[in-house]
A = this chain, B = another copy of it.
C-alpha cells in the first residue's frame, strides 16, 4: 500500500487506536516482530514500515510471539512522507543530541502530548534504523523530537526495547497507572487491634517476657510494627490464635 488508508477513527474509540508506530529502514525482521509484540502489550495496533530490509519474514513472525494481528495489519511504504500522510502530529525519537533540534521532550512528556493530539487526529511515533537512528532530514519532517532518558555512557536501547518504553508511556498516559486489582482483604478495625494488643500484653506478662512494673519500650515497639504493617482482620485472628495457644500451654496444657 502506498498512501495512508487509516480510516478516520470515531471519537469514542481509544486515542491509542489513532497512534501509529513508524519504523524507518529497519534492518532486522526480528526487531519488527519484537516491536509488534511490544506494541500489542500496550494496546497499540497501527504499525507502518518504511522501506524495511526484509518484511514479511518468518523471524518477524517468530518474535512477535502471537502479536500477528499487528504484523498482518502493518503497512509497508517507501518513504517517511507516505508513512506520515494523514497525521496531525508526529514525534521522532532520537537517542542523541541533534544540532538543529530546538526542542527535545522526554518520552513521558511526549506521550502526554501525543495522547492529547490523538484526540484531534492521527499521530505518529517514528523510530529510525538499528545502526544510526533517524537522519536529520527525517527528524526535521517530524513535528517534534523526543528521547528516552538513559545512561549517557551507554544509551543504546534495542529498537524493540525503545518501542516498548514509548508504548508503555503512551499506555500509561491513556489509561493511567492503574493495575489489576489484587483481591481485597478486610482491614482490621481499631478495636480488633486494641484487643490484640491487650491480649499480647497479658500473654507476654504471663510468659514473664514483659514486666508490667518495668515495661520499657516493648509494647510501643509492637504497636509501631503492627501499625506500619496495616494489619488485616485475618492476620489479627492468626496472632490471637498464637497467643491463645501460648495461654493454654501456660495453663498447663502441653498437648501438641
Taking Cβ atoms with an 8 Å cutoff, the residues of A that contact B are: 34, 37-38, 40-43, 65-67, 96-99, 101-106, 108-109, 145, 147-158, 160-161, 164-165, 168, 171-172, 175-183, 185, 232
> A154 with B67: in contact, given A106-B179, A149-B178, A179-B149 (CB under 8 Å)?
yes
Which of B38, B99, B106, B150 has a CB less than 8 Å from the CB of A41?
B150
A177 with B108: CB separation less than 8 A: yes
How many copies of this chain are found per oligomer? 2
> A40 with B151: in contact, given A34-B158, A34-B161, A172-B108 (CB under 8 Å)?
yes
A172 with B149: CB separation less than 8 A: yes
Q: In the bound complex, what is the Cα–Cα distance between A43 and B181 (angstroms)?
A: 31
> A156 with B232: in contact, given A106-B179, A108-B177, A183-B99 (CB under 8 Å)?
no
Instruction: Give the residues in chain B near A180, CB-CB below 8 Å.
Output: 96-97, 104, 147, 152
Which of B65, B164, B172 has a CB less than 8 Å from the CB of A164?
B164
A182 with B150: CB separation less than 8 A: no
Q: How far is the CB of A112 from chain B (nearest CB, A)?
A: 11
